[in-house]
Amino acid sequence: MNFSDSEIVVSILEEKGYGSTKDIKEADVIFINTCSIRDHAEQRVRKRLDYMQSLKKKNPHLVIGLLGCMAERLKTQLLEEEQVLDIIAGPDSYRDLPRLMEEVESGGKAVNTMLSAEETYADIAPVRYDSNGVSAYISIMRGCENFCAYCVVPYVRGQERSRDVASILREAGDLFRNGYREVTLLGQNVNSYRWTQDGKTTGFPELLEKAAMINPLLRIRFATSHPKDLSDELLLAMSRHHNICKSIHLPVQSGSSRVLDRMNRGYTREQYLERIDALRIVLPDCSISTDIITGFCDETEEDHSETLSLMEKVEYDYAFMFRYSERPDTLAADRYKDNVPDDVKERRLREIIDLQQKLSYQNNKMDVGKTFEVLVEGFSKRSAEHLSGRNSQNKVVVFRATGNKPGDCVPVKINRFTSATLLGNAV
């Protein structure tokens, strides 16, 4: 979401005559787009601001701004704590950036962290400033109303609001005509997408199919699905279109129903596994990835064991795995004690990571001998003689270059693998 927001910011500023540069030392204005999901992310921003201070000493006229979730969470407190900052702007305030910059030029500091119930930036064509020219993101909705106990997103991004269907399809069509061959539809919970016009409501499965019908050569991905809202209609829509990628990110967070209840996730272990079973039946070749948080408040060894056993049952292709980090002003911070010792969190996280590496290795091993359509994204980072891309299951595939170029879809037969990458030859 932050990457998509950054593209919107660039578009807004270019409309006002600003240009972008990849050399930070050339910049007259620097914006840092932030995340508040974990404390580690905020601490990295703080360290980055220390570096900005050194740049500002060399260029006293340099304008430094902080955008996004951290700006929304801490607001004017940041101006007191980080003297280097000139602008604070929340996720719904990007249209106001030109005015905020004028305010700074007049000698002051500027803040706008007002949340909106309507802002979707639907009319702004994002500038793909750091794109590979093959894949792009399209934000279809903003905000979240799930209020998971550990999460700050509902407080820093506001209530859910969906973007109109026509603007989403227009952006996807424009991207395809400009040479892009893959788009990812983004939302905190895409399954909650709803757009009503002239008495007709479009849900996410229908939106997904409309996007797939723009052109069969345009691959469609999406993120993220909430398990409590993963419908049979969505699975069937995916099965009907070859160009809807067979990959679902379905965050579980914990394998224990007791912990899931404390997390306010809205489903049990059994309900989650029922959705996995439905997915396997309708989409047997679909990859499944997840998010896992270990060490949540009052998590026991039995709870941890249930997470490991669920991982083994689902056999995730890959996962994003974290130790619990208490975030201020969340339900968990208000209601529970962060009482799992750090060394226990670290040990449990290592066990989860070790298991996932084993599962990823086993899953990739099963792909040896199979042939996949691989959308070429560019050259491999390790060799200019090899191309790199992704298959429908969102797995990275590396193969020897044979005259293909980014944007080509190439059949590749897999003959080797690691836990993170498939390797093969074009056929």
- Taking only the tens of pLDDT, the chain with its 427 residues reads 778 899 999 999 999 999 989 899 899 999 999 988 888 889 999 999 999 999 999 999 999 999 999 999 999 899 889 999 999 999 999 999 999 999 999 999 999 999 998 999 999 988 887 788 999 999 999 999 999 999 999 999 999 999 999 999 999 999 999 999 999 999 999 999 999 999 999 999 999 999 999 999 999 999 999 999 999 999 999 999 999 999 999 999 999 999 999 999 999 999 999 999 999 999 999 999 999 999 999 999 999 999 999 999 999 999 999 999 999 999 999 999 999 999 999 999 999 999 999 999 999 999 999 999 999 999 998 888 999 999 999 999 999 998 899 999 999 999 999 999 999 999 9
Range of the domain at 251: 135-365
| Domain's final residue, options 365, 389, 404 | 365
Nearest Cα neighbor of 323 from 297, 345, 299 is 345
359 and 385 share one domain: no
Helix axes of 301-314 and 342-365: crossing angle, nearest 10 degrees: 10
159 and 71 share one domain: no
pLDDT in tens, 287-343: 999 999 999 999 999 999 999 999 999 999 999 999 999 999 999 999 999 999 999
Q: Is position 126 within any domain?
A: no
pLDDT in tens, 185-211: 999 999 999 999 999 999 999 999 999
108 and 149 share one domain: no
The residue with tokens 């959705």 is 275
* DSSP codes, 116-127: -SS---TT----
Strands 200-203 and 194-197: antiparallel
Cα(393)–Cα(371) distance, integer angstroms: 12
pLDDT in tens, 84-111: 999 999 999 999 999 999 999 999 999 9
CATH for 184 = 3.80.30.20
Which of helix, strand or coil describes residue 228? helix
Which of helix, strand or coil describes residue 309? helix
296 and 326 share one domain: yes
pTM, two decimal places: 0.92
The helix or strand, by DSSP H or E, that contains position 412, with its residue range, turns out to be strand 409-417
Backbone φ, ψ for residue 247 (5° rounding): -155, 130
98 and 161 share one domain: no
* DSSP codes, 142-195: E------TT--HHHHH-S-EEPPHHHHHHHHHHHHHTT--EEEEE-TTGGG-EE
Count of the separate structural domains present in the chain: 3
Do 296 and 332 meet the contact criterion of CB atoms below 8 Å apart?
Answer: yes
Cα 359–Cα 365–Cα 367 angle in degrees, nearest 5: 115
Cα 380–Cα 385–Cα 387 angle in degrees, nearest 5: 40
**pLDDT value at position 130?**
73
CATH for 376 = 2.40.50.140
| Domain's final residue, options 346, 365, 384 | 365
Backbone φ, ψ for residue 377 (5° rounding): -105, -25
